[in-house]
Chain A
Amino acid sequence: MNPTATSIERSGTTVKIDASGVYYRDLNTVLREVVTGDVERIDLVNICGQRYIGTDLGREVEINIHGTPGNDLGAFMDGPRINVYGNAQDGCGNTMNEGEIVIHGHAGDITGFSMRGGKIFIRDNVGYRVGIHMKQYLSKVPSLVIGGTAQDFLGEYMAGGILVVLGLNLRAGETHKANFIGTGMHAGVMYIRGSVERHQLGKEVGIVELNAQDRENLDLLVAEFANHFGYDAKEILAGDFIKLLPLSLRPYGRLYAY
């Protein structure tokens, strides 16, 4: 398991790396070296559980992952565009700053945790606590789009950004399963396609009608989503959406005695 054992093929600005049996630290060392050159695209094959892929690369580069990347895919990531042809595990996009992650499959718990910029698209479902504590500042507005459905605590403590759940794999009449959606949410916006009961929502969020700006947000994000995964954006957008907004910027303002 040393970097020299890693098989690396270069052709022009594309690099292909066979990661089978390569320890994550060695793989990431190789990636750091590779991006110092003029590489524009990195194909990683036989990825199986290696952590922190995309961390500390610090520039725009396309990374195509074939296999199952390990936890914290793209943690603290700042620039790369990652496509995963498979599923992602927990912590995908953890505290990500800039770049894009596209998962052709499902993703695990805390996807997009504390994400502050960039975009994540997940074709299928996601796990618990997804989008938790996403935040935004001025032009840095992270987006997270989930094609399927999510588990509990979706968007908990959300402090900014746009979170979209499309529910494309729900059967007719089936509601989203997640409870405690948006508990403690105090900034940002969530759009959910498909039905949720009021008791599934945190008490800090309210349901409001979509306005023109919301439609514009959705049109853009859904078009990108559809483009990544081969869906018809119009068909998706024709569904019913609800918009969740925090009731207050200061949900716990009255919790304390001053």
Chain B
Amino acid sequence: MLKTYLPARFIVERNASRCIQCQVCVRQCGFDVHYYDEEDDEVRARDERCVACHRCVVFCPTNALTIRKNPLDYRENFNWRGEAIEDIIKQSETGGILLTGMGNDKSYPIYWDKLVLNASQVTNPSIDPLREPMELRTYLGRRPDKVEVDWETGKLNTRLTPLVPLEVPVMFSAISYGAISLNVHESLARAASEAGTLWNTGEGGLHKKLYKYGSNTIVQVASGRFGVHPGYLDAARVVEIKIGQGAKPGIGGHLPGEKVSAEVAATRMIPMGTDALSPAPHHDIYSIEDLSQLIYALKEATNYTKPVSVKIAAVHNAAAIASGIVRAGADIVAIDGIRGATGAAPKIIRDNVGIPIELALASVDQRLREEGIRNQASVVVAGGIRNSADVVKAIALGADAVYIGTAALISIGCHVCQACYTGRCSWGIATTDSYLAKRINPDIASHRLVNLLRAWSHEIKEMLGGMGVNALESLRGNRLHLRGVGLTDTELEILGVRMAGS
């Protein structure tokens, strides 16, 4: 093995006066950074392996550890910055596609931060959510344009297609079993059930242990069709066709064979140790009428008892595509923006392909309204939602609900170190290694997730109350409650919001 030209990215600093050589750090690190030198009776670190996940820092009983960025300075050059140089070094040493994890970390504008919310002052009252009713319940699915009632008998003639209730408009994004551990799946499933929302299996099937959470489960049907069989579809509340994901629009995914453990194999129904390859397209969908064919195949397979969602990555023509998806028969359109995360994606794709979710959402909602078909499907957005204000702004722009992935994982321990693709996650999240995976205790993790949703619900209610509305649907698509700051005319036009002060 040739010596690598890559410098260490992080430096492990151990305060010798605090360190008691207990070796908790050695045991906690999934990346083999810390090791115990028996001869010298001293714990040392291999800095070059550190990804800054902070597991050791948090678990060190004497607070002896901290992690710093390697302060190593390259000669200043705006074009050839450290990242560009190090990527080339890594590729020259491996000949491979650079992998990464989590969402786009580049400085594309975050429009949530350039949108501000309204509040009532004098002319209409704000509402106190602590004492007065404040409704967040949301129904996902297709609605007819009108209600028909036989007023003689009072009988409702309109037969609504299945609609799915959410007590809080925040669902857990698709993350497959294999990319994350079964304990994480269980935590998400239990939290969703407790909080009255939905979690999403991702494309790796549903472990039989989790079938009991089916009524809070969205099952995915992706290009690899892993673990997709009639029982899986029957178990679900919603079936989602995954076309794309924000972190890697237009490409497939490879779950490497080493992550395909016996349990993962059983759930995906493929032999242990084989790569689980998801092709870039569904090979039965090369056109919009093919999508329609699969939507109705799934509706036939479940006898029209469940809404079918179609998830796409936010791309240039998202508005036209979303319109086509609704016309193709989807009940829910899910859109994942450029900051959407992943367990593994080529870095070059993650960092360069797709558009920000705020712009995609604004143009999709607008287009569906102009076409008169907004009622026919719910719109769900994902990709970098960080807090309840992002949720409220998304709903004001026109979303029915949001998906959170990274936020949910942070809630149970993730420190966004972007090394998910290694399968060595020290927090026991993005791994199928049983030694690491048991670090997630579903009792504790589901509780943390429920806490997060409870906190956000309260905050959403506070913001709604401030705006003087007591039902979330009065904010949904109500862009008058948004104003833009620091945006160009074109950006304001696409977002459909006015400049602050106007």
Do any CB atoms of chain A lie under 8 A from CB atoms of chain B in the complex?
yes
Encoded as 1 (CB less than 8 Å from any B CB) or 0, chain A from 117 to 129 comes to 0000000000001
Tell whether, in the assembled complex, residue B297 and residue A72 are in contact, meaning their CB atoms are under 8 Å apart.
yes
A186 and B230 in contact (CB under 8 A), knowing A71-B293, A160-B271? no
Q: B284–A256 contact, CB under 8 A?
A: no
- Give B421's nearest chain A residue, CB to CB: A258
Q: Is A21 an interface residue (CB 8 A)?
A: no
How big is the B interface, by class?
Answer: 35 or more
Chain B residues 220 to 266 lying within 8 A of chain A, measured CB to CB, are 224-226, 228-230, 233, 254, 256-257, 265-266
Query: How would residues 199 to 232 of chain A score, 1 for a CB under 8 Å from any chain B CB and 0 otherwise?
Result: 0000000000000000000000000000000000
How distant is B51 from chain A, measured CB to nearest CB, in Å?
A: 12
Contact, CB under 8 Å: B277 / A252 = yes
Complex: how many Å from CA A110 to CA B279? 14
Scoring B94, B266, B300, B302 by chain A CB atoms within 10 A of each residue's CB, the highest score goes to B300
Q: Are B274 and A91 in contact (CB under 8 A)?
A: no
Binary contact track A24-59/B, C-beta < 8 Å → 1, others 0: 010010001000000000000000000110011010
The residue that A55 contacts in the complex, of B257, B273, B279, B300, with Cβ under 8 A, is B300
Contact (Cβ within 8 A) A95 B96? no
B293→A114 contact, CB < 8 A: no
Judged by a CB distance under 8 angstroms, whether A249 is at the interface is yes
A140 within 8 A of B: yes
Q: Are B270 and A252 in contact, CB atoms less than 8 angstroms apart?
A: no
Which of the segments A11-19, A131-139, A164-172, A233-241 contacts the partner chain?
A131-139
**Contact of A114 with B225 in the complex, beta carbons under 8 Å:** yes
Among B91, B271, B283, B293, contact of A133 (Cβ-Cβ < 8 Å):
B283
Closest-by-CB residue of A relative to B304 is A25
Q: How far is the CB of B223 from chain A (nearest CB, A)?
A: 8
Q: With A133-B224, A157-B279, A249-B273 as given contacts, are A94 and B229 in contact (CB-CB < 8 Å)?
A: no
In the assembled complex, the Cα of A173 lies from the Cα of B206 at a distance in Å of 49
Say yes or no for B136: interface residue by CB 8 A criterion.
no
> Which residues of chain B have C-beta atoms less than 8 A from A32's C-beta?
303
Q: Assess whether B485 is interfacial by the CB under 8 Å rule.
A: no
- Min CB distance, B189 to chain A, in Å? 23
Select which of B94, B268, B300 is within 8 A of A56 by beta carbon: B300
A250 interface hit (Cβ, 8 Å): yes
Are B283 and A258 in contact, with the CB atoms below 8 A?
no
A184 to B266: give the CA distance in the assembly, Å.
22
Chain A min CB distance to B185 (Å): 19
Q: Within 8 Å of chain A (Cβ to Cβ): is B117?
A: no
Does A75 make an interface contact (CB < 8 A)?
Answer: yes
Residues of B within 8 A of A250 (CB): 256-257, 274-275
Q: Does B10 contact A (CB under 8 A)?
A: no
Tell me whether A136 and B270 are in contact (CB under 8 A): yes
User: For the complex, is B499 an interface residue (Cβ under 8 Å from A)?
Assistant: no
Candidates A76, A91, A110, A252; contact of B254 at CB < 8 Å: A252
Q: Is B193 part of the contact surface with A, judged by Cβ < 8 Å?
A: no
Q: A91-B293, A252-B254, A257-B99 are in contact. Are A76 and B301 (CB under 8 A)?
A: yes
Decide yes or no whether B269 CB sits under 8 A from chain A: yes
User: B265's contact among A71, A116, A137, by CB below 8 Å, is which?
Assistant: A137
Chain A nearest Cβ from B423, distance in angstroms = 10
Contact: A76 with B233, CB < 8 Å? yes
Which of A51, A129, A133, A140 is B296 in contact with, Cβ under 8 Å?
A: A51
B422 within 8 Å of A (CB atoms): yes
Q: Does B97 reach chain A (CB closer than 8 Å)? A: yes
**CB-defined interface of A92-114 with B at 8 Å, one 1/0 digit per residue?**
00110100000000000010011
Instruction: Mark interface residues in B65-87 (1 if CB within 8 Å of A CB, else 0).
Output: 00000000000000000000000
Q: Contacts A56-B300, A94-B297, A137-B265; is A251 near B229 (CB within 8 Å)?
A: no
Bound-complex Cα distance A133 to B221 (A):
14
A91 cross-chain contacts in B, Cβ below 8 A: 284, 293
B67 to A: closest C-beta gap in Å: 21
Are A56 and B230 interface neighbours, CB within 8 A? yes
B98-127 at interface with A (beta carbon < 8 Å): 98-99
A residues less than 8 Å from B98 (CB atoms):
256-257
- Tell yes or no: A152 within 8 A of B by CB: no
- Does B293 contact A186, Cβ atoms closer than 8 Å? no
B90 in the interface, Cβ–Cβ < 8 Å?
Answer: yes
A residues near B91, Cβ cutoff 8 Å:
257
Most buried by B among A97, A116, A159, A184: A159
Q: Is the pair A28, B270 in contact by a Cβ cutoff of 8 Å?
A: no
Q: How far is the CB of B293 from chain A (nearest CB, A)?
A: 6
State whether the Cβ of A63 lies closer than 8 Å to any Cβ in chain B. no
Which residue of A is nearest B346, CB measured?
Answer: A256
Q: Given A56-B230, A58-B230, A186-B274, A116–B269 Cβ distance below 8 Å?
A: yes
Contact indicator B270/A135 (Cβ below 8 Å): yes
15 contacts between A and B (CB under 8 A): A52-B296, A72-B284, A76-B297, A113-B284, A137-B268, A156-B283, A157-B277, A186-B275, A187-B274, A250-B257, A255-B96, A256-B98, A256-B99, A257-B91, A257-B98
12 extra A-B contacts, CB within 8 A, seeds A133-B279, A257-B90: A52-B297, A72-B284, A72-B293, A132-B283, A135-B226, A136-B270, A249-B273, A252-B277, A253-B256, A257-B91, A257-B93, A257-B96
